[in-house]
Amino acid sequence: MKISVQEADFDVGAEISALRAGNPQIGAVASFIGLVRDLNDGSNVAAMTLEHYPAMTHKALTAIVAESETRWALLGCTVIHRVGALFPTDQIVLVAVASSHRADAFAACEFIMDYLKTQAPFWKKEQTPDGERWVESRNSDEAAAGRWG
């Protein structure tokens, strides 16, 4: 697995190429890319800052991917999460999962995102016309993570 927490942007094509390089057992790659939107909770978002808990983020993401590997037959996984200053249309997060067949890749990709949303210590602060504000957690994210049991 590849886990990276970084300020720099990432190249989705290059990441997926690297994930599946040289492994003819891989028949499916599912990926998710999270992006900065320009509107959230009714306010225009000019920019956001992603804060994290450096000592814990890598550990938490590794644990989430390891848990997914116990549930599905995976042949590789890449998780990249950016921190620092981000702007609308910027990429925030990439989860890419390789497997022999699509069902495992789709399920593991969704599971990793759902757990990342509720377990990995990142916090978004948005800059809006009314000033800065911390993004509130959503009950729907807790519900999404909870459905995996």
Partner 1 sequence: MNIKVLYFARLRERFGVSEEVIELPDSMAMVAMLLDVLRARGGEWAQALAAGQNFRVAVNQDMAAMNSPLEADDEVAIFPPVTGG
Taking the least distance from each CB to partner 1, the nearer of 20 and 52 is: 52
CA distances from residue 17 to 10, 60, 111, 122, 148 in whole angstroms, order as listed: 13, 25, 22, 27, 29
Please report the sign of the dihedral spanned by the C-alpha atoms of residue 55, residue 144, residue 86, residue 40: negative
Taking the least distance from each CB to partner 1, the nearer of 11 and 51 is: 51
Taking the least distance from each CB to partner 1, the nearer of 118 and 127 is: 118
Nearest-approach distance from CB 131 to partner 1, in angstroms: 13
Nearest-approach distance from CB 88 to partner 1, in angstroms: 16
Nearest-approach distance from CB 117 to partner 1, in angstroms: 4
Cβ pair 50, 86 in contact under 8 A: yes
Residues at the site binding partner 1, with contacts judged by CB under 8 A:
34, 50-53, 55-56, 59-60, 81, 92-93, 113, 116-125, 134-137
Can you state the percent helix, strand and coil of the chain, rounding each to 5?
Answer: 35, 35, 30
Nearest-approach distance from CB 24 to partner 1, in angstroms: 32
